[in-house]
Amino acid sequence: MTQKEFLNIVTPFKDKVFRLAKRLLVSTEEAEDATQEVLIKLWNNKTKIQEYKNVEAFSMTMTKNYCFDKLKSKQAQNLKIVHSNYEDKQTGLQKQVELNDSVSWVERIIEDLPEQQRMIIQLRDIEEYDFDEIAKMLDMNNTAVRVSLSRARKTIREQLTNTHNYGIK
């Protein structure tokens, strides 16, 4: 496989790999390193890459595993999981402040979700993978993925509603 062929396969999803890594590792530098490591591993195994039915799903699984290993390592003890992919630049100042505040609340709520729910929210709602791909990546069945996603969304919705109502029902 030539470099051009490899790039044609990898280029469409390399940004998703980076976003997942950033989601898990927080630090842009750590996410860039993780993305580079995954791409290097793919390059080193480029002769086998065509054997995979879904190279993108395989890459996302590699990214997830690499990031979890990094988080478990002693070097990364102070890293935490945060999300900051949302930004809307075409709104009025007041609306933008409100949106930023809501996004901050959603980030905090997502931080408090169980790890599996955080991963499923990231993969389904942000990266837009389908349930089959998520189930394969996380080694779960479709029903478990759907239930976990539903519970995560419900938790986010309830806590965000509580926040906007200032705790008043």
Domain boundaries, the chain: 1-81, 90-169
**48 vs 58: CA distance, rounded Å:** 12
**Per-residue pLDDT at 143:** 94
**Per-residue pLDDT at 45:** 82
Query: Residue 85: pLDDT band by 50, 70, 90 thresholds?
Result: low
Phi, psi (deg, nearest 5) at residue 165 = -90, 5
**Per-residue pLDDT at 169:** 44
**Per-residue pLDDT at 91:** 54
**58 vs 79: CA distance, rounded Å:** 25
Q: Is the pTM of this model over 0.75?
A: no
pLDDT greater than 50 at residue 10: yes
Give the rounded percent of residues in the chain with a pLDDT score beyond 70. 85
Assess whether the region 1-81 and the region 90-169 belong to the same CATH fold: no
Angle of CA points 129, 134, 137, to nearest 5°: 125
**Per-residue pLDDT at 77:** 55
Return the higher-pLDDT residue of 8 and 79. 8
**Per-residue pLDDT at 166:** 65
Mean pLDDT of 31-46: 88
Record: fold of 90-169:
Arc Repressor Mutant, subunit A (1.10.10)
pLDDT greater than 50 at residue 113: yes
**108 vs 113: CA distance, rounded Å:** 9
Domain spanning 1-81: CATH 1.10.1740.10: yes
Q: What is the overall mean pLDDT for the chain?
A: 81
**160 vs 115: CA distance, rounded Å:** 19
**Per-residue pLDDT at 149:** 92
Return the higher-pLDDT residue of 11 and 79. 11
Give the pLDDT confidence of 117-152 residue by residue, as tens digits. 999 998 888 888 999 999 998 999 999 999 999 999
pLDDT greater than 60 at residue 87: no
Give the pLDDT confidence of 64-82 residue by residue, as tens digits. 998 888 887 745 455 444 4
Are 30 and 21 a contacting pair, CB within 8 Å? yes
